Chains A and B, each alone.
Chain A
Amino acid sequence: MTISAIFMWVGSVLIVTGVTAYFFYRILTNPRPPEVPVDEDAPEGFKTFDVT
């Protein structure tokens, strides 16, 4: 591989992997549990409409 190709490839891989890892580290160290118990099959219904 040419030096410029290695530079572009390694640089891109390092930047993209580093930033992704950083944001995932932030997500994994800051989980947020659901506030309310999940009831996914609760009955649905029409909503009223806020005309304002």
Chain B
Amino acid sequence: MSGFQESWGSRLGLVLAMAGNAVGLGNFLRFPVQAVQNGGGAFIIPYLVCFLLMGIPLLFVEWSMGRFGGVRGNHSTPFIMDSMAPKQFIWRYVGVFGIFTNIAVAAYYCYLESWTLGYMWYSVSGQFSGMSAAEVSGWFGWYTGFDAIHNVVFWILCLVLNTWILSKGLSGGIEKVAKVGMPLLILFGLVLAIRGITLESGENGAVESGTTGLNFLWNPDFSSIWTPKVWLAAAGQIFFTLSLGMGSIHCYASYLRSRDDVALNAMSAGWMNEFVEVVLGGAIIIPITVGYFGVDGMKDLVNQVGGLGLGFRTLPYLFQQWGPVLAALSGLAWFGLLFFAGITSSLAMGTPVMGFLRDEFGMRRNTSAILFGLAVFILGLPTVFFFHYGVFDEYDYWAGTVSLVVFATLEIILFAWVFGMDKGWAEINRGADIRIPGIFRYIIKYITPAFLLFVFIGSLPGIWDMLTHKELLEQIQASPDPEQTTFLEKKMWFVNLSRMVLLAIWLFIAAMVYKAYRQRIQKSSPLNPTN
């Protein structure tokens, strides 16, 4: 069996790349909003419990699966899973999710990442100087609309950058970006967090102090702990923040050697993500927004525009209150940290696709990187040009939310019940630099699958509502304006088209997996003259 020689250059580089894969825009934009909406400070209790019972076990499982497959020459989930249950063909096709998710998520995520690049540029060039809150907020609508061409320029720049870094390989590209990007992200995050916490009432027009926002975020409402909705939100947050169920962790881990540690590496990368999310993510947008809009104003903004809106529609305006120099520097730091959070994640999405193309179709690294870039460009076009028709949200919901839960639920069943917990436990502990408490063996076998099923079943009503366009149909029925009704009907058409596209991508990858499997059979056939 011939395999390519690519591997990680250093252990620190691997851990930083894995942490970079997990740390994304959600650490700064999603976590604080989830905490505000689900019990404030008390949210941290279900959140950490879910991290221990679902996050850490799944990290162990995905790292081990990746190393197991990689040692056998497989760097993508279809054949990693196939190598764990070679007699059951179904797992090969379950593994299709591990490629599908990465392509489909990258298609819209790179566009989101390009906003941070664009906003970094416009912050430094003083675009927001002198604008009112409403103007800065409205500027976002213009930036993502049909009229703007520069959003396309920044998007293409972002795609080229991702493709170029991916073409440099693991140690020459991804690892170098992680080693520079992650420390810079933490530095920028610390500067902004200190600024947010130390904001004084009356300073530069602030109506409240930063600690008022911190108090609102962390003041515990313990009654919320008994609400299933809060546990579902905590489980969902842990799931998405760690990039579980995507296939990218498997792929990164597949470049480990057979006796390399997975236990300590997985814990380090996972906890680093928690540090960025809880310590830094919890101390920036809420304290600063409360400082200028007060608690009620911040709650209204969260309900209207969500975390993403706070980050792009509100903060650029608030930075302007600190004077032109600090505004430019704060904009650079804020959008810079979001950019590093984004690019370290999008690079991780390219690797499984490239691994599959290189493993199965013998492509060179540059060719596979360019193909990935092209695929993301083509599939991303609808998210860029029809953003306001809900294409972006549709990709995010089906590929970036539902697929992850489905894949993770199935992969843990494969690991704990099909591959077997005895072999699985031995795999996790092989070469481990830390002693893993034996209770995790039972958690992985019983509790984590139950947790995942709880998350999946809890999400079913929402999935059904999405599938049947419940919200959109209600909006159409309630719309008094014929123009608005036409827009909503058009939106429904684009939503349906997006679903067709996503289904077609999944089926296309499944067909490629089938072709790759047939090629493997032919290669190993005794009738093959090369054998």
Are A and B physically bound partners?
yes
| Contacting residues, chain B, for A8 (C-beta < 8 A) | 40-42, 44, 218-220
CB proximity to B under 8 Å, residues A1-52 = 1-2, 4-6, 8-9, 12-13, 15-17, 19-20, 23-24, 26-28, 30-36, 38-52
Q: In the assembly, what is the distance between CA of A27 and CA of B12, in Å?
A: 7
Residues of A within 8 A of B218 (CB): 1, 5-6, 8-9, 12
Instruction: Name the residue among A5, A15, A44 with the largest chain B CB count within 10 angstroms.
Output: A44
B 503-527 binary contact with A (CB < 8 Å = 1; else 0): 0000000000000000111011000
Question: Total number of A-B contacts with CB less than 8 angstroms?
Answer: 151
- Give CA–CA (A42, B274) in the complex, Å: 37
Interface assignment of B434: CB less than 8 Å from any CB of chain A: yes
Q: Report the bound CA distance from A17 to B276 in whole Å.
A: 9
The residue on B at minimum CB distance from A40 is: B169
**B contact patch SS:** helix
A41 to B462 Cα, complex, angstroms: 46
Contact A47 B359, CB 8 Å, known A20-B272, A38-B171: yes
Can you list, as one digit per residue, whether each of B197-225 has a CB less than 8 Å from chain A (1) or not (0)? 00000000000000100110111100000
Q: Shortest Cβ distance from B400 into chain A, in angstroms?
A: 25
Q: Are B172 and A40 in contact (CB under 8 A)?
A: yes
B268 with A41: CB separation less than 8 A: no
For B524, the chain A residues whose CB sits under 8 A away are: 48-51
Interface size range on B against A: 35 or more
Chain A residues near B497 (CB-CB < 8 A): none
Contact partner, A26, options B2, B6, B260, B434, Cβ 8 Å: B434
List of B residues within 8 angstroms of A23 by Cβ: 264, 267-268, 271-272
Binds A, one of B93-101, B311-319, B360-368: B360-368
Chain B residues within 8 Å of A, Cβ to Cβ: 1-12, 15, 40-42, 44, 48, 72-73, 86, 169-172, 211, 214-215, 217-220, 257, 260-261, 264-265, 267-268, 271-272, 274-275, 278-279, 282, 358-360, 362-365, 433-434, 519-521, 523-524, 531
Residue contacts A-B, CB under 8 angstroms, 17 given: A5-B41, A5-B214, A9-B41, A9-B282, A12-B278, A23-B264, A27-B268, A28-B12, A30-B11, A30-B264, A32-B261, A38-B5, A38-B9, A39-B5, A48-B524, A50-B86, A51-B521
Q: A12-B282, A47-B2 are in contact. List 11 more A-B contacts (CB 8 A).
A: A1-B211, A1-B214, A1-B218, A12-B279, A30-B11, A40-B170, A40-B172, A43-B4, A44-B359, A46-B360, A50-B72
